[in-house]
Chains A and B, each alone.
Chain A
Amino acid sequence: MSLENKFHEKIEEQAKDKKEEKWRAMSSNLELIQNNETMNNSKNTKVLIRLPSKAIICFIALFILFLVVVTIISIYLKSNKNIKVRYCTSDEYAVSETDVSLKEYAESINKTLLFFDWYEETILLTEEMTKLNDTGEIICFAETMMDMNTGYMVTLRVTDGWTDIDALESIKDLCYNQSLEQGIKVEWGGGLSKSCAIFEYEDYKYYLEVSRTDDMELALEYVALLLSVGSE
Chain B
Amino acid sequence: MVKTMVKSVSRLLFTALLVANLSLLSLGLKSQPKETYSSDASLFSYNSVKEEIYFSEREEEYIETSNGVPLYTQLSSLENSCGPTAGAIIIGFYDKYYEDLIPNFRSYFPATGNYLPNDRTYVPALMQDLYVKMKTNVADVGVNEVDCLSGLKQYVNDKNLSFSYSSVQSGSNLNETRYTNALRENKPALLFNNTTDVFQFSTNNGVDVFSSSTISGNHIYVAYGFYKVKYILTNGNERVDTYARVACGLSFYTDAFIRLSSTTVSVPNQWLNSAYSISIS
Residues in A lying within 8 Å of B, measured CB to CB? 89-91, 93-97, 99, 123-124, 126, 128, 130, 142, 144, 146, 151, 153, 165-171, 173-177, 189-194, 196, 211-212, 216
A90 in contact with B41 given A189-B202, A191-B203 (CB within 8 Å): yes
What sequence of 0s and 1s flags, for each residue 196-210 of chain B, a beta carbon within 8 Å of any chain A beta carbon?
A: 000011111001011
Q: Identify the closest chain B residue to A173 (Cβ).
A: B211
The residues of A that contact B211 with a CB separation of less than 8 Å are 169-170, 173-174
In residues 74-106 of chain B, which contact A (Cβ within 8 Å)?
75-76
Contact of A170 among B45, B48, B71 (CB under 8 A): B48
A126 in contact with B120 given A95-B252, A97-B76, A167-B252 (CB within 8 Å): yes
15 contacts between A and B (CB under 8 A): A90-B42, A90-B44, A90-B46, A124-B116, A130-B251, A166-B46, A168-B252, A170-B213, A173-B200, A175-B202, A189-B202, A189-B209, A192-B203, A196-B202, A216-B203
B111 to chain A minimum Cβ distance, whole angstroms, is 5
Most chain B CB inside 10 Å of its own CB: which residue of A90, A130, A170, A196? A170
A212 in contact with B68 given A126-B117, A153-B117 (CB within 8 Å): yes
Q: A187 CA to B46 CA in the complex, in Å?
A: 21
What sequence of 0s and 1s flags, for each residue 100-139 of chain B, a beta carbon within 8 Å of any chain A beta carbon?
A: 0000000001011010111110000000000000000000
Tell me if B213 and A146 are in contact (CB < 8 A).
Answer: no
A216 in contact with B202 given A128-B251, A146-B116, A173-B50 (CB within 8 Å): yes
Q: A146 CA to B114 CA in the complex, in Å?
A: 11
Tell me if A146 and B203 are in contact (CB < 8 A).
Answer: no
What sequence of 0s and 1s flags, for each residue 245-281 of chain B, a beta carbon within 8 Å of any chain A beta carbon?
A: 1000001111100000000000000000000000000
Tell me if A173 and B71 are in contact (CB < 8 A).
Answer: no
A154 to chain B minimum Cβ distance, whole angstroms, is 11
Residues in B lying within 8 Å of A, measured CB to CB? 41-48, 50, 62, 67-68, 71, 75-76, 109, 111-112, 114, 116-120, 200-204, 207, 209-213, 227, 245, 251-255
Q: A89 CA to B48 CA in the complex, in Å?
A: 12
A91 to chain B minimum Cβ distance, whole angstroms, is 6
A180 to chain B minimum Cβ distance, whole angstroms, is 18
Tell me if A170 and B200 are in contact (CB < 8 A).
Answer: yes
Contact of A94 among B46, B76, B202 (CB under 8 A): B76
The residues of B that contact A166 with a CB separation of less than 8 Å are 45-48
Q: A151 CA to B112 CA in the complex, in Å?
A: 7
Tell me if B48 and A191 are in contact (CB < 8 A).
Answer: no
Q: A216 CA to B251 CA in the complex, in Å?
A: 22
Q: A81 CA to B97 CA in the complex, in Å?
A: 55
A116 to chain B minimum Cβ distance, whole angstroms, is 15
The residues of B that contact A216 with a CB separation of less than 8 Å are 202-203
The residues of A that contact B252 with a CB separation of less than 8 Å are 95, 165, 167-168
